[in-house]
Amino acid sequence: MSDTSYTPPRVWKWEPGNGGKFANINRPIAGPTHDKALSVGKHPLQLYSLATPNGVKVTIMLEELLAKGIEAAEYDAYLIQIGEGDQFGSGFVDVNPNSKIPALMDHSTNPPQRVFESGAILLYLAEKFSAFLPTDPAKRTECLSWLFWQMGSGPILGGGFGHFYAYAPEKYQYPIDRYTMEIKRQLDVLDRHLANNRYMAGDEYTIADMAIYPWYGALVKNRVYEAAEFLEAHTYTHVLRWAEELDTRPAVQRGRMVNRTFGEPSEQLHERHDASDFEHKTQDKL
């Protein structure tokens, strides 16, 4: 336990700048901070995102749809630099009033349909294109249960464990211990399930895998928070087996590159407008 004890005041007051790495973009109110229209490309599907785990969910889905030969899933992906506050531009807030990436506009409908929240986007695309969502009622329910498991569990991993372990300006044992315990429990949930299932919904690769992989697959592969050793990720052998299998899928590899601004330049495709961009417009070629 920490020697520092905090007694909350009767009424909380915001102190700008308090919050660690992302303090400059955190605030207790919603709405836009500036006027900025969003770009619109040539395809009906317009994605505004960044290659965080939540963003990667959707770019994997779109690339998987295209890999299945669904040409109507062609899309333009525009970079939203959350560290610079792009998500608070008026155009982005019109698409997602919650000011979080990813956000999608579907211009194939009249009027165009906005979709926000990564899980909602995965489900929207799965239903729109009849792909990666089982049609059997029992299997569909299993898939959606795991999809919503991730949506409920992910904030504990990101905003809880990730923040206090990797991003908080000061390290305190109590929150790190509290969230580490829960993340290890979540990994055990996944490991026990994947011991008897190839994918999250059984033998069928679905949007549940696409939702969970960018968070928990990345965690055990040490791609987020550099916490694999701390969490003893090597002990979750079934999660690792599953993550390594998904790593080999070409559409997953492409999806991880879109809107990526970190890592090797050859793995960064800041904007995506055509399949050929993966060959000609990665950062090492610009």
Q: How confident is the model at residue 110 (pLDDT cuts 50, 70, 90)?
A: very high
The four Cα atoms 167, 168, 172, 176 give a dihedral, to 10 degrees, of: -40
Percent of the chain with pLDDT over 90: 93
Q: How confident is the model at residue 15 (pLDDT cuts 50, 70, 90)?
A: confident
The 3-state secondary structure of the chain, one letter per residue: CCCCCCCCCCCCCCCCCCCHHHHHHCCCCCCCCECCCCCCCCCCEEEEECCCHHHHHHHHHHHHHHHCCCHHHCEEEEECCHHHCHHHEHHHHHHCCCCCCCEEEECCCCCCEEEECHHHHHHHHHHHHCCCCCCCHHHHHHHHHHHHHHHHHHHHHHHHHHHHHHHCCCCCHHHHHHHHHHHHHHHHHHHHHHCCCCECCECCCCHHHHHHHHHHHHHHCCCCCCCHHHHCHHHCHHHHHHHHHHHCCHHHHHHHHECCCCCCHHHCECCECCCCHHHHCCHHHC
Whole-number mean pLDDT of the chain?
96
Closest residue by Cα to residue 242 from 268, 210, 271: 210
Q: How confident is the model at residue 19 (pLDDT cuts 50, 70, 90)?
A: low
Is the per-residue pLDDT at 1 higher than 70? no
* Number of C-beta neighbours around residue 125 at 10 A: 26
- Largest Cα separation within the chain, whole Å, is 59
Q: pLDDT digits over 219-261, tens only?
A: 999 999 999 999 999 999 999 999 999 999 999 999 999 999 9
Residue recorded with tokens 């090597």: 234
- Please report the pLDDT score of residue 213 as a whole number: 98
- Please report the pLDDT score of residue 86 as a whole number: 97
Q: In what order do the strands lie in the sheet with 75-79?
A: 75-79, 45-49, 103-106, 113-116
Task: Report how far residue 43's alpha carbon sits from residue 246's, in angstroms, rounded to the nearest whole number.
Answer: 27
Which range of 3-7, 13-17, 37-41, 169-173 scores highest in mean pLDDT? It is 37-41
- Please report the pLDDT score of residue 24 as a whole number: 75
Q: How confident is the model at residue 3 (pLDDT cuts 50, 70, 90)?
A: low
Closest residue by Cα to residue 122 from 54, 76, 198, 70: 54
Average pLDDT over residues 181-209: 98
Average pLDDT over residues 92-106: 98
Predicted TM-score of the model (pTM): 0.96
Q: pLDDT digits over 134-144, tens only?
A: 999 999 999 99
Task: Report how far residue 23's alpha carbon sits from residue 163's, in angstroms, rounded to the nearest whole number.
Answer: 12
Percent of the chain with pLDDT over 70: 98
The amino acid occupying position 224 is V
Structure-block tokens of residue 5: 């004890």
Q: pLDDT digits over 33-76, tens only?
A: 999 999 999 999 999 999 999 999 999 999 999 999 999 999 99
- Please report the pLDDT score of residue 17 as a whole number: 74
- Please report the pLDDT score of residue 26 as a whole number: 87
